């Protein structure tokens, strides 16, 4: 049925005047477990999570929006899924509310140490990504307060070794050689597709010094 214009305007105004629900409040929190490969790499960063807090205060539809990589997103999702909230309220009743949260992963490192800030694999569909199994950091530079950054890409071959290293951008040639020397010594469990090891391209971003 078509409504008169005046009635339609009244209905719209009523809809817009509805109170918004209160935001859920965190009641209990579970800290995430640091994935072993992220710990080996000394990967630091923040995972952005979106979720819905139900009427019972339990999280639902928990998923990662952004992640530094190396399993930090799965670790954050596993932790947040165990959090409990005081639910949002509307008109005196608990209601589902969508919220975003951030989960920080931080390891203590020397002020001048190189550490990755992002790791991404270009894995084709149906391919299990490489898993980092060894990440030695050679004592090749003084741990000073100097800052810098390097982004590079490389192939993880079926034998798990990095190859075809390519610098994408950097703050200086000296920084490039430092990071290349680090990554050359790393070892991976190779990517697997249809039961066979395959080559997969990886992109890493490193930062040195007073990075967050």
pTM of the model: 0.82
Nearest alpha-carbon partner for 43 in 135, 133, 116: 116
* Domains, in order of start, for the chain: 24-105 (3.30.2420.10), 114-208 (3.30.2420)
Question: How many other CB atoms sit within 10 Å of the CB of residue 114?
Answer: 25
Mind listing the pLDDT tens digit for each residue in 166-210? Answer: 999 999 888 898 899 999 999 999 999 999 999 999 999 999 875
DSSP 68: -
Question: How many other CB atoms sit within 10 Å of the CB of residue 99?
Answer: 15
Question: How many other CB atoms sit within 10 Å of the CB of residue 77?
Answer: 19
- The answer on pLDDT for 211 being more than 80 is no
Mind listing the pLDDT tens digit for each residue in 31-43? Answer: 999 999 999 999 9
Q: Which residues pair with 83 in a beta bridge?
A: none
- Do the Cβ atoms of 147 and 209 come closer than 8 Å? yes
Residue 36, H or E segment: helix 36-41
């Amino acid at each position: 049925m078509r409504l008169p214009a005046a009635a339609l305007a009244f209905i719209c105004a009523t809809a817009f005047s509805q109170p918004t629900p209160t935001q859920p409040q965190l009641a209990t929190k579970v800290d995430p477990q640091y994935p072993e490969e992220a710990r080996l790499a000394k990967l630091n960063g923040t995972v952005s999570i979106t979720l819905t807090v139900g009427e019972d205060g339990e999280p639902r539809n928990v998923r990662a929006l952004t992640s530094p990589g190396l399993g930090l997103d799965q670790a954050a999702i596993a932790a947040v899924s165990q959090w409990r909230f005081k639910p949002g309220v509307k008109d005196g009743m608990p209601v589902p509310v969508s919220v975003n949260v951030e989960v920080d992963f931080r390891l203590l490192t020397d002020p001048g140490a190189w550490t990755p800030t992002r790791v991404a694999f270009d894995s084709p569909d149906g391919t299990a990504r490489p898993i980092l199994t060894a990440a030695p950091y050679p004592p090749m530079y003084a741990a000073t307060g100097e800052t810098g950054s390097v982004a590079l890409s490389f192939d993880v071959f079926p034998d798990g070794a990095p190859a075809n290293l390519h610098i994408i951008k950097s703050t200086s040639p000296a920084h490039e050689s430092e990071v290349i020397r680090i990554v050359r010594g790393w070892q991976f469990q190779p990517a697997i597709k249809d039961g066979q090891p395959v080559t997969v391209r990886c992109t890493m971003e490193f930062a040195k010094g007073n990075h967050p």
